[in-house]
Structures are given as structure tokens and as C-alpha cells.
Structure 1
Amino acid sequence: MRNVAYKQCIAKYYNSRVKPQAFTTGDWVMRKVSLATKNPNEGTLGPTWEGPYKITKVCRPETFQLRDPKGKTLPHPWNADHLKYYYK
């Protein structure tokens, strides 16, 4: 019983401090660099974020289609977990 009460207390504390990110069409975001998109010549000191990208379409909740500043649309949608807001 104590373990269950303790886990509920920790979950309540964590959830009270989490701030959900709500992106909308037209927002500018940075995209996280993954192993698949990382340049192998940069090594571990390479950038961890790339962009900025503009959100052009909301495919599903927390899934967005992105476009770079030159107007090229990225081939597949990106999840909000891999994006962060870009402050101009």
C-alpha cells in the first residue's frame, strides 16, 4: 500500500510540473538530430538541433509536416518529441 501511495505522490508531483508543448500551423521549430540524419564527419561535437523549420500541416495529434526556409517540404512527418520551439 505504501509503494502505491508513494508512486501516486511522485506521479502527481511530476505531472504538475510538466508543460505540454502545443505546436500549431505556422510555428517555427528546431528538429533534433538523430543518428540517421547526423553527419558522420562531425563526431560527438556536432550540433544536436537543426533548423529552423516551419510547420505546414498537422497530420495527427503531435505529428507535423515540416518545411525548411527555402520552401522544400521534408519527406515524412515528425513527432513533437523530436521538435522544440524556435524563438525568433
Structure 2
Amino acid sequence: MIPLEVIKALANVAIITQFSSWAELDEDAAVQMLEQMAGDLQMLGPDDLASLSEGFRKVSESYREAEVRQFVWELPSALGLENDEEDADLD
């Protein structure tokens, strides 16, 4: 099981890259970092992938803004950690 604190830290990195302006963040570096993170996470075994996906869904509830909650809820699919069929709408 992956600790929720680790999952929240990963979510926060993704949130910063998604919601920061490109004046604040280098676009190429941000995209490269997210692609590298996704690739590394995809190397996890099936049980850890399931734990990570479930964890993203749990920590999504801790964010106030609906747009951020939805973004975190959809991270497993966006990062290629699960099939799109498994991705449910938060609403």
C-alpha cells in the first residue's frame, strides 16, 4: 500500500504543473517531468497501481476547488495508470 502522503505529494506536483501559468513554470520542463513521473509510475506492479489509483481518488476529496478535485480524480487515467473505462466521473 502506498501512503496517502506520498500520493498527495505526487498530486500536488501534477497540480502545480497543470494550474501554474507558463510565465511561472517552464512548459517544456513541466511536460517532461510529468511524462517521466508517469513512466516511472507505470513500472509499478498491478497491486501498487491499484493502490495508487485508489489513493488519488481518496486524496482528491481533500481539495476545495472542484476543478482541482476533478483533475486529481482523473490523474490515474491521465498518467496511463489504468484504462479509461475504469475512470469514473467525480460528479
> TM-score, normalization: structure 1?
0.27
Higher strand share: 1
The structure that has the greater radius of gyration is: 1
Comparing both chains, which one has the higher relative contact order based on Cα–Cα distances under 8 Å and sequence gaps of 6 or more? 2
